[in-house]
């Protein structure tokens, strides 16, 4: 065999320690697939005294990941620190400047700086690999970049955040509201103490921006992603949606719209037969639609030490074997700068729930607001009064441009008979 591929790992948290464990436990099989041994020669982390459950004897220790990226006797730097900027970005830039390959699980870094880092890596003649950055152990980047390379991808979408998927699954199955289930998810370790990054959709949006770049050959454009989370989803909305034949998920979706690209993350309703509808708990799934292959669906665990470390090591095996592709599927200089489709241009059906005072003329006001903005109603569901003499009116619209529906709902919100802000959830056909 050839000389070992020497690896330096920045960050020894859950994924970093998991990566060392995978490399140690499966060393023989990995070497056979890579054509040579993959050997960790250096690590960097903040606390030397912490027991990480993996042996570190004979491995050089660096307190500073940037110094490690520059000075370690390594061929590859694995960045598992996290964060769009700071030491993670500096370490990756230092590694590339010193002509070392980079493997990262850092979706935030790629979403904000991916195009520039790809150009730097290609100019330096090194690889920038990131299979672990999206959907954990699901090989979605390799599938889009290599397996589906003969296709024009028209749409890619998925459940990209296991925390949100777990919360929505539990809300549906237990009929509990968001706050109760979030607290439970935090207790189980599925949600962080500060869960905003997950539940506000930012994590999924970072991943979607990366997926869209690989799928469409466009420059990563996180600012073009419309982002909504799940804080305002109620058990009542989930129950009404189920009654009307829908399942609710937080979905990231990117699609070609002529010469422009649409990118959005938000809760949406779908038919129970849709490929994402049965993906429950902490699992992730990604669906790609190509002109020749049709629909390809991948699902599996989207986070955790094992799945994410598996993806990191898969990238190391490719580097060890000399297998290289452009970072985002096409050379960085050829990544297109596509126009963005604003959410106001979305055209499709929606679910709307209004809490209104139960008195004559209210439904006429609703119908008038919708009529004046050319919003057509497909179906209406009304339930009896609550203790405050208010009723829930649930409306499914026909295909409508979002800007028109937004105007109608804004008008209704100013109506004294509408006692809560309207609840709107988009309906998608998958």
Contact 289, 153 (CB under 8 A): yes
Q: What is the pLDDT of residues 22-66, one digit of tens each?
A: 999 999 999 999 999 999 999 999 888 888 889 898 899 999 999
Let me know if 207 is a catalytic residue.
yes
Q: Which residue segments constitute the domains of the chain, with CATH numbers given?
A: 5-133 (3.40.50.720), 140-301 (3.30.360.10), 344-427 (3.30.70.260)
Q: What is the pLDDT of residues 305-336, one digit of tens each?
A: 899 999 999 999 999 999 999 999 999 999 99
Contact 4, 37 (CB under 8 A): yes
Average pLDDT, the chain: 95
Fill in the DSSP letter of residue 3.
P
3-state SS, residue 14: helix
**Given 207, 249, 345, 410, which residue is catalytic?**
207
Q: List, in order, residues 6 or more apart from 82 with CB less than 8 Å away.
A: 11, 88, 105, 106, 108
Helices within 26-158 (DSSP H only): 27-34, 65-71, 86-97, 107-124, 140-142
Q: What is the pLDDT of residues 71-84, one digit of tens each?
A: 999 999 999 999 99
Dist CA 121 CA 73 (whole Å): 19
The pLDDT value given to residue 52: 87
Q: What is the pLDDT of residues 344-370, one digit of tens each?
A: 999 999 999 999 998 888 999 999 999
3-state SS, residue 301: strand
Q: What is the pLDDT of residues 364-390, one digit of tens each?
A: 999 999 999 999 999 999 876 776 778
Dist CA 13 CA 45 (whole Å): 8
Dist CA 103 CA 11 (whole Å): 12
The pLDDT value given to residue 387: 63
Fill in the DSSP letter of residue 226.
E
Q: What is the pLDDT of residues 203-251, one digit of tens each?
A: 999 999 999 999 999 999 999 999 999 999 999 999 999 999 999 999 9
Contact 379, 243 (CB under 8 A): no
Confidence of residue 1 (pLDDT cuts 50, 70, 90): low
Q: What are the angstrom distances between the C-alpha of 232 and each of 142, 264, 282, 385?
A: 35, 17, 20, 22
Say yes or no to pLDDT of 278 above 60. Answer: yes
Dist CA 148 CA 10 (whole Å): 32
Residue range 94-115: average pLDDT?
97
Q: What is the 3-state secondary structure (H, E, C) of 315-354?
A: HHHHHHCCCCCCCCCCCHHHCECCEECCHHHCEECEEEEE
The whole-model pTM stands at 0.95
129 sits in which H/E element: strand 128-129
Q: Which residues of 285-317 are buried (b: 16+ CB within 10 A; e: fewer)?
A: bbbbbbeeeeebebbbbbbbbebbbbbbbbbbb
Backbone torsion region of residue 4, taken as left when φ is above 0, otherwise alpha when ψ lies between -120 and 50, otherwise beta: beta
């Amino acid at each position: 065999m050839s000389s070992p591929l020497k690896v330096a790992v920045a960050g020894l948290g859950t994924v970093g320690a998991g990566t060392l464990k995978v490399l140690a436990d499966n060393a023989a099989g990995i070497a056979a697939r890579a054509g040579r041994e993959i050997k960790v020669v250096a690590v960097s982390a903040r606390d030397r005294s912490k027991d990480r459950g993996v042996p570190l004897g004979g491995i050089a220790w660096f307190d500073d990941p940037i110094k490690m990226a520059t000075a370690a006797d390594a061929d590859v730097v694995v960045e598992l620190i996290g964060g769009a900027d700071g030491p993670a970005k500096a370490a990756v830039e230092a590694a590339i400047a010193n002509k070392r390959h980079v493997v990262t699980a850092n979706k935030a870094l790629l979403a904000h700086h991916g195009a520039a880092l790809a150009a730097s890596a290609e100019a330096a003649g090194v690889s920038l690999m990131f299979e672990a950055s999206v959907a954990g152990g699901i090989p979605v980047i390799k599938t889009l970049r290599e397996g589906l390379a003969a296709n024009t991808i028209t749409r890619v979408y998925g459940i990209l955040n296991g925390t949100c998927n777990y919360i929505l699954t539990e809300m549906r199955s237990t009929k509990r509201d968001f706050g109760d289930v979030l607290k439970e998810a935090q207790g189980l370790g599925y949600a962080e103490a500060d869960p905003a990054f997950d539940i506000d959709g930012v994590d999924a949006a970072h991943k979607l921006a990366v997926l869209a770049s690989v799928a469409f050959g466009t420059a990563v454009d996180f600012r073009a992603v419309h982002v909504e989370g799940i804080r305002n989803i109620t058990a009542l909305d989930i129950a009404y949606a189920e009654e009307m034949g829908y399942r609710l998920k937080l979905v990231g979706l990117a699609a070609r719209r002529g010469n422009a690209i649409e990118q959005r993350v938000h809760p949406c309703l779908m038919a129970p037969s849709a490929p994402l509808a049965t993906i429950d708990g902490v699992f992730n799934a990604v669906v790609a639609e190509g002109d020749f292959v049709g629909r390809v669906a991948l699902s599996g665990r989207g986070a955790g030490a094992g799945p994410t470390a598996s993806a990191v090591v898969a990238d190391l095996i490719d580097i060890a074997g000399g297998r290289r592709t452009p970072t985002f599927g096409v050379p960085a200089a050829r990544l297109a700068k596509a126009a963005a489709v604003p959410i106001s241009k979305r055209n499709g059906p929606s679910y709307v729930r209004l809490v209104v005072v139960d008195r004559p003329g209210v439904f006429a006001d609703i119908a008038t607001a919708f009529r004046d903005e050319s919003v057509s109603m497909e179906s209406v569901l009304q339930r009896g009064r609550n203790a405050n003499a208010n009723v829930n009116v649930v409306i499914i619209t026909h295909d409508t441009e979002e800007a028109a529906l937004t105007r109608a709902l804004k008008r209704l919100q100013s109506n004294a008979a509408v006692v809560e802000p309207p609840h709107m959830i988009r309906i998608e056909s998958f």
